[in-house]
Amino acid sequence: MADLLRIENVGKSYGAVEALRGATLGVAKGEFICLLGASGCGKSTLLRMIAGFEPISSGRLLVNNNPVAAPGPDRGMVFQDYGLFPWLTVRENIGFGPKARGLPRAEVAAIATRFVDTVGLTRFADAYPHQLSGGMKQRVAIARVLANDAQLVLMDEPFGALDAMTREHLQDELLAIWAAQRLTILFVTHAIEEAIFLADRVVVMSPGPGHIIADRKIDLPRRRDVSSPEFNDIRRELNALLHGEPGRQAA
């Protein structure tokens, strides 16, 4: 299967500071990939470059074999802080992208309604962001990306600010949406358990400067049991990689 996203020897420097070195990765259509690493390893920097928010310093970034030069509707970004427009309702936030693209009013309304329903916020369609819980706001942020018909969904620690119960619930919801919509997702996290629970593959990054040290396929059936011996074997393996323990390599 051809890669939807191709990262080829990508580097990023800020003046004399090298933030990312030689990142190479392919992501096929429909894959769920987690970028796992501690703060400062360059995972969010890589995500912003894929989104087109920052230029690369070296290498190539290709989406559908086209070089990434700027933000585009083929890529959608979900941030930890939601990024919603406070003066717009849930429905209006979700419909913002289609409206900005100049789609007819009836089509915008239909798209917004579809994705309000997809993320389970029908009762809150006319509420404003300040009236929503953190989990609801993140569902709106996800729906807004889906409404833009993005081929590649980029998620930068989207559940990091949520409580544990809400986080677990949204992880399940995200997997259901991913499967139903056949999305391609690149998800940044520093939480090992979250990465194993969600991903087809976990790409481990190490700082100083940031670089990819492992690409681990997670061959466990979903829904994954975080207490199973198999899950915890992978958790120990990835934890060893992140902490630089010798003699441990990802498969």
pLDDT tens for residues 39-79?
888 888 999 999 999 999 999 999 999 999 899 888 999 98
Maximum alpha-carbon separation in the chain:
60
Task: Work out the angle between the directed axes of helices 90-100 and 105-118 (0-180°, nearest 10).
Answer: 130
Sorted by sequence, the CB contacts under 8 Å of residue 229 that are 6+ apart come out as: none
pLDDT in tens, 171-217: 998 999 899 888 899 999 999 999 999 999 999 999 888 899 999 99
Q: How do 32-36 and 201-206 pair as beta strands?
A: parallel
Alpha helices in the chain (DSSP H): 43-51, 90-100, 105-118, 134-147, 164-181, 192-198, 229-242
> What is d(CA 35, CA 205) in angstroms, rounded to the nearest whole number?
7
* Residue written as token pair 């230029």: 55
- The overall average pLDDT reported for the chain is 90
Domain borders along the chain are 1-41+56-68+199-231+239-251
* Residue written as token pair 């928010």: 53
What are the phi and psi torsion angles at 55 (to 5°)?
-75, 150
* Residue written as token pair 């010798």: 246
> What is d(CA 112, CA 106) in angstroms, rounded to the nearest whole number?
10
Query: What is the structure's pLDDT at 248?
Result: 41
Partners of 14 in beta bridges? 17
Residue 72 in 3-state DSSP? coil
> What is d(CA 121, CA 21) in angstroms, rounded to the nearest whole number?
41
Query: What is the structure's pLDDT at 245?
Result: 52
